Chain A
Amino acid sequence: MSTGIRVASLDDIPEGEGIAVDKTITGTADNIALLRDDDGTVWALDDTCSHEEASLAEGWVEGGYVECPLHSSKFCLKSGEVQGLPATRNTCPHRVNVRDGEIYLFPNEAP
């Protein structure tokens, strides 16, 4: 079992915000958005909204969901499941682990 990729410090992401990790680092098809919910937990989803070109890392993170910065489709932080139109497809979740204030990403592993 891999130890994951150290991608950021917890302090890099204020609660309710996100950052995008480039796909050259994650080795995935899409960049990965690290999203920190307002309860402090960190989640990871494919960064590009399944509707049009928008970075979910720039979205509004609150109450277990991220809202796309373009047209407000919401996705579940935990499952990537789309909650409402205009997007119709889910986005892919990835496993995240926080150890000693550092965020480790496990691309393509289920959370």
Chain B
Amino acid sequence: MVDRVVVVGGGIAGVSTVAALRTGGFDGDLTVVDAGEFPYDRPPLSKEFLKGARDLKDIALQPAQWYDDQAVRLVNLTTVTALRPGIAGVELSDGTTLSADRVVLATGGRAARPPIPGSDSPRVHVLRTAEDAERLRTVLAPGARVLVVGAGLIGAEVASTALDLGCEIVLADPVRPPLTGVVGAEVAAWLHEVHAQRGITTVQAGVESFAEVGAGIEARLAGEDEPRVVDVVVLGVGMVPDTALAEAAGLEVDRGIVVDAGQVTSNPAILAVGDPTRTRRNGMLLPRTEHWEAAQHDGERAATTILGVAARAESAPWFWTDRHHLHVEAVGEMAAASTTVLRGRLGEPPFAAFGLREGRLVGAVGVDDSTAVRAARRMIDRGIAVDPTRLADTAVDLRRLLRG
């Protein structure tokens, strides 16, 4: 009998876990331990929050009243210092211990800081938390020279926001074009071109070193003779999963907290959800999926495990990114496609690209065309055979195609 659940971490995975437990009828004690003032949503940190158009309260994951309504105890401004696997409990930074029947690790991660010489300068920023975003916002003044390192999701979004704030931007990434694996080569190339079209200088290079000079910072890029001098550097080069508590408790960790298909770690009383987890399925250890909805689904799945009910059917992975006033969504695995079909004209939103393999849809990406992506998701999930010419025909309504 599970009467007490403690969730460690108040990101989307942790909050989704408690929300799904209550929705599923769990009426025991529910506690969320979070280092911040209250759980907030991270996607706006690189966009509206960074811009200053929204404050922390605006991006709260749940209104304050929700915790009372749902009888969720929020232990804020507190971290968990150790797990007590024997009692499925946790030790808190204030010295107290919380006992539980199940602990759910939703510890997230931190922004990666690769060992580039000089990257410990305060002028070199990362973006993961609201504090990071607030610190960065103060230096993204109009006219500020900004070097963004990494043109994946976070880097591209920060570059777009900084441009809107009037900064002068260099965007460096050794990969050309970034995101090819997730949106396909054609769309990735176009998305990367949009940076240049909007006046961002894109450079295909990695960074070798940083050095503070005067009020600025000098960056040496691979293959360039002269260093580039800027005011601000932002590293958007991925995240490092927070696995410290799991490791210290002797749980199986392999570049991520290893969980089964029900989010259970190697200790049956401890579950883990979200960014720091890796699922072992049919003996295969899958890569981490560091997307918002994947974390939400992890939380829902953990709740069904704790409740002892069936999890809802899996759906193809989906994510979005908003940049340069374009809404981009991708679903499935474009990298698994053998052919690509375009719907609409590349570079003239709304448009979408579909990835097919052996007559089935395996992935899709849409720019300002979420309907195409929502339809594609259902086609992938249901394994519907698709006719590429009809997919490409903008006169064919995809919702009707889905109904057959």
Contacts and interface: CB of A to CB of B under 8 A. Distances in A.
A90 B12 CA distance: 19
Interface residues of B, number: 25
A85 B399 contact: no
B399 A86 contact: no
Interface string A47-70: 000001000001010000001011
Contacts of B320: 70-71
A52 B15 contact: no
A17 B60 CA distance: 30
A40 interface: no
A88 B296 contact: no
Given A14-B397, A17-B399, A52-B48, A85 B41 contact: yes
Interface in B340-382: 370-371, 374
A60 B320 CA distance: 16
A67 B15 CA distance: 20
Contact of A88 (B63, B370, B371, B400): B63
A88 B66 contact: yes
Contacts of B322: 70
A86 B45 CA distance: 14
Contact of B15 (A58, A71, A85): A85
B137 interface: no
A111 interface: no
Contacts of A60: 370-371, 374, 399
A86 B63 contact: no
6 contacts: A52-B48, A70-B320, A70-B322, A70-B327, A72-B293, A86-B61
Given A60-B399, A69-B327, 9 more contacts: A14-B397, A14-B399, A16-B399, A60-B374, A70-B370, A72-B318, A85-B15, A85-B41, A86-B292
Interface of B: 12, 15-16, 19, 41, 43, 48, 60-63, 66, 292-293, 296, 318, 320, 322, 327, 370-371, 374, 397, 399-400
